[in-house]
Amino acid sequence: ILKSYQNVLAFIFAIEEINRNPHLLPNITLGYESHNSLHSHGNIVQNILIVQTGQDRIPNYMCGRESKSLALLTGTSMATAAQSGPLLELYKFPQLTFGSFDPILSESDQFSSLYQMASEETALAQGMVSLMLHFSWIWVGVAITEGPKGLHFLADVTKEMDRNRVCMAFVKMIPVDPLSYMAHTQQHEFLVGESSAVNVVIIYYDADSLNDINYSIGLHLVTWRVWVTNSQWHADLTGKKFLLDSFHGTIIFSNHHEEISGFKHFVQTVNLSMYPEDIFLYQFWYWNFNCLISESDCSLKNCTPNASLAQLPANRFDPAMSDVSYNIYNAVYTVAHALHEMTLQQVQMQNTGSGERRTFSPWQLHPFLRSIQFTNPAGHHVSLDKKIKLDIKYDILNLWNFPEGLRLKVKVGEFSPYAIHGQQLSLFQEMIQWATGHTETPHSVCSDSCNPGFRKSPQEGKAACCFDCTPCPENEITNDTDMKNCMKCPDHQYASIQRNQCLPKAVTFLAYEDSMGMTLAGTALSLTSLTAAVLVLFVKHQDTPIVKANNRALSYTLLISLMFCFLCSLLFIGCPNTISCILQQTTFGVVFTVSVSTVLAKTVTVMLAFKFTVPGSRMRQLLVSGAPNYIIPTCTLIQLTICGVWMGTSPPFVDTNAHSEHGHIIIVCNKGSLTAFYFILGYLGSLSLISFIVAFMARNLPDAFNEAKFLTFSMLVFCSVWVTFLPVYHSSKGKVMVTMEVFCILASSSGLLGCIFFPKCYIILLKPERNSLHEFRNQRYSGRKNPF
C-alpha cells in the first residue's frame, strides 16, 4: 500500500481531470473500477472475467452493459500477462501496461492487444556506464533479477561496459521466487564474500520480488558500497533509524517527466470523506494516522485530527509523481484521447439527430490506440508507436538518510541520450551523499592506475581491468596513465629518469673544454715541446759521437715526424668537420708511416754497418750509397697511395652517434670505409713488425753507441700499444672511442721518443764524459767482450 497507493491516486486524478475538461470527451463521463490481484493467479482470472462480463458471478453471459469497461490498465508482470493475455485476446480487449518496459510483451504476437506505456529502456545501461566513466569506476559488480527484463538489461550493460572498457567484477542473478531465493542464499556471497572489495554495484530491479535482496543487503550492513539502480528499486521507507544503513548514498536512475500541475495539491487534500468507498484509502489512513476501528460499523475513529497526506514525511508518502504513476496518468489520457477520436468518427458517420445512444465495443479502440498522438497537460508528447517514442531522459536521484526514520530522494543530475556527445551526463557532484564511510568520491578499481613511466601488464586469467604496472624499458616512455605500451623515444631524444617524457639530447664531442679533452691536448702539446727540446739538444750536440752515430739525419727526421705524430692527435679533439675528419686519418697514417719507416731505416743502417763490414761488398756499397734513406719516401709513398684510394672512394665524414652515451648525441668522424682504415693500420703494423724483427737481429752488434737495443724495445712498445688498442677500440663507443685513439697515438709516439732518445739525452746532459771518442773506444772494446 505504501508504495502503490500513489498509483491509485494518479489514476483517480487523471480521470477527474479529464471529466472536468470540456474539450476532451464532452458530454461523456469516464468511470472506473479497480481490482487488486494480490499476486494470485486465481484473483487475476477472476478480475479479468469481471472486467469483460460486467458481473462477478456467472461468466457465461454479459449483463450490466452500460457499465462494461472499455480498457484495462495493468502492471507488466509476465505472470500477470500470461494469465490475462489469452482471455483478453479472445475479445481483442485493449490492455495498457504502466510498469517498466518488457521486451517479451512487445515482440510476441500473443499480446497483440497489449500496449506498453513505458518507453524502451535502451539508454538506461548507457546512462549508468556514463556515470561509471565520470567517476572512473571501472571495476563494477552487476546484480539483476532473473527473467527476460534482467537478461535484456544485462546484454545492454555488457555491451556498453565492453565498449567503454569498464569491467564486470561479477554478475549475480536474483531469483524472483522467494522460496528459490532462500534456497540459493549462497549465491549472494557478493554482499560479504571475496567480491565485497568491489565498491560499486549496479542492481537492476524488476517490479516483482524486491524485498528479499533488500533484506539481505540490510541484514549484512553493506554500508561501504555504492548501489546504482533503476527506478523500480525501492528501499524500506518506514520508521527505521537510518543513521547506519546500507542504502545511504544509493544512486537511482529515474525516468524524467515534468511535474503534473495540481497533482501534489490533489494528493495532499485527499481524505476519507472525498472517497468513502475507497477501501485502499481506508487502509492507508488506518496505518498512518493512528486510527481505531469501530466495532459497530467497521468505520475508522479517533484518527489524527485534520489528518492529511500532506502531514506525512516524504519517506512515508511522496507527493511527487513516480514513474509508474506517471505512466498510469498517461495511460488514462491515452484511452480518453482514443475514445474521443472514435466518438468523433462515429458522430460523422451516423445521423446525430436520432435519439439513439452511442455504444462502443472495446475492440474498436485498437486502430485509434495504435495511431494516437497527443501532448499531455505536462507538455510531454505521448504515443504508443515505439518508432515515434523518444528515448527516455533520466533524472539521477541520490538517497539521503536522516535521523528519526527520514529518508529523501534528491535530484543530483540528469542523463539525456539525445544530447550532444560529452554533454549527455550532467551532475551536481557536490550534492551527492556517498555511502557510509566515504567522505570523498569512492574508488572502484581492480588495480590502481599505472602512472606515467609504467605500462599495464595483464594478469593472466583475470579481467582486463586487473593488471600489474611494469616499468618501461630503457629509452622508452609512457606519458599518460594506464598505457598498454611504452613508446620509444626518437634518436635525437632520450627518456627521463621517471620514463615519463622524452628529453632532447645534448650535442657533445671531445671538446677542448672537457677535462679529458683538456688533458689530452695538454699532454700532446707537452710531448711536442719535449720532442722539440730533444731536437734542439741534438742539433746543439750534433758533432758529438752519440749524435753522429746511427745516421744523424735519420734521428732528426724521426724527431720531426714524432712532433707531427703528437700534433696530429689534436685533430681528434674539438668539433669535427669534414676537413678535420679527412685530415685525422690521412695525417695519422702518413706521419706514423714516416716515423716507423725512419725507425726501419735506422735499423737497416745498423745492420749494414755492423753485419757487412767487408770493404767493396755489395751490402757495404748500399750503406755507402745511402740506400737506407730511400726506405722512408718509398714506404710513405705506398701509404699515400692507400690514403688517396680511400679519400677517392669512401672518404671520412661527419656523423652522429645517438646511442653510445645516454642523453647525448655525439658528433664523431665516421671512417667512411673501415676496410681502408684497417689497410692503413695493417700497413703500419707490417712496417712495425719488420722494424722489430730487424732491430731484434741487430741487438747484439758491438758498438758504444749502437741503438739497436733501444730500437728493438721501442718497436716492442709500439706494437704492444696498437695490439692492445684494437680490441679496446672496438668495445668502446662515442667519445671514449675517440679518446682511446688519441691515447694510443700519444702512447705509441711516446714509446718511440722515450726508448730511442731518452738514453742518449741522459748521456748528453748527465754523463758528458761518456760522449767522447776515448770513451767510445773503451765501450766498443768492452762491448765485444760482453755481448747482449
pLDDT in tens, 548-588: 776 788 889 999 999 999 999 999 998 899 999 999 889 98
Q: Are 752 and 692 in contact (CB under 8 A)?
A: no
Across 13-27, 201-215, 271-285, the highest mean pLDDT is recorded for 13-27
Q: Answer with the residue of higher pLDDT: 581 or 695.
A: 581
Q: What share of the chain is helix, strand, coil (3-state, %, to 5)?
A: 50, 15, 40
Which CATH superfamily, name and number, covers 128-232+242-252+393-431? Answer: Response regulator (3.40.50.2300)
- Please give the backbone phi and psi of residue 96, each rounded to the nearest 5 degrees, phi first: -115, 125
What CATH number does the domain located at 515-649+672-771 have?
1.20.1070.10
How confident is the model over 180-207, as a mean pLDDT?
Answer: 63
- Please give the backbone phi and psi of residue 230, each rounded to the nearest 5 degrees, phi first: -100, 175
The backbone region for 306, taken as left when phi is positive above 0, alpha when psi lies in -120 to 50, beta otherwise, is left
Quick one: cell of 614?
767487408
Pairwise CA distance, residues 128 & 132, whole Å: 6
Which residue, chain included where needed, has cell 535482496? Answer: 213
For residue 644, with 0-12 CB atoms within 10 Å meaning exposed, 13-18 middle and 19 or more buried, which class applies? exposed
Using only C-alpha atoms, the chain has a radius of gyration, in whole angstroms, of: 53
At 710, the pLDDT band (50, 70, 90 cuts) reads confident
At 662, the pLDDT band (50, 70, 90 cuts) reads confident
The beta-strand segments (E) located in 578-704 are 653-657, 664-670
Q: Which residues pair with 142 in a beta bridge?
A: 171, 202
How confident is the model over 716-741, as a mean pLDDT?
Answer: 83
At 457, the pLDDT band (50, 70, 90 cuts) reads very high
CA 686 to chain centre: 62
Pairwise CA distance, residues 221 & 214, whole Å: 11
506, amino acid identity: A
Pairwise CA distance, residues 110 & 369, whole Å: 18
Cβ contacts of 144 within 8 Å, gap of 6 or more: 150, 151, 153, 154, 171, 172, 173, 174, 203, 204
What's the length of the chain?
A: 788
391, amino acid identity: D
Show the DSSP H helices in 440-577 as ranges: 515-540, 545-548, 552-568
Q: Are 374 and 223 in contact (CB under 8 A)?
A: no
Per-chain mean pLDDT for the chain: 80
At 286, the pLDDT band (50, 70, 90 cuts) reads confident
Cβ contacts of 148 within 8 Å, gap of 6 or more: 78, 102, 103, 104
By mean pLDDT, which of 128-137, 375-384, 615-624 is the weakest? Answer: 615-624
Residue-level pLDDT at 14? 95
Cβ contacts of 193 within 8 Å, gap of 6 or more: none
Quick one: cell of 737?
672511442
Q: Return the domain boundaries, the chain.
A: 4-119+260-266+319-344+363-383, 128-232+242-252+393-431, 271-307, 454-504, 515-649+672-771
CA 561 to chain centre: 65
Element (DSSP H or E) covering residue 253: strand 251-255
Residue-level pLDDT at 249? 86
Residue-level pLDDT at 70? 85
Pairing of strands 200-204, 139-145: parallel
128-232+242-252+393-431 and 515-649+672-771 agree in CATH topology: no
Which CATH superfamily, name and number, covers 4-119+260-266+319-344+363-383? Answer: Response regulator (3.40.50.2300)
Q: Answer with the residue of higher pLDDT: 278 or 680.
A: 680
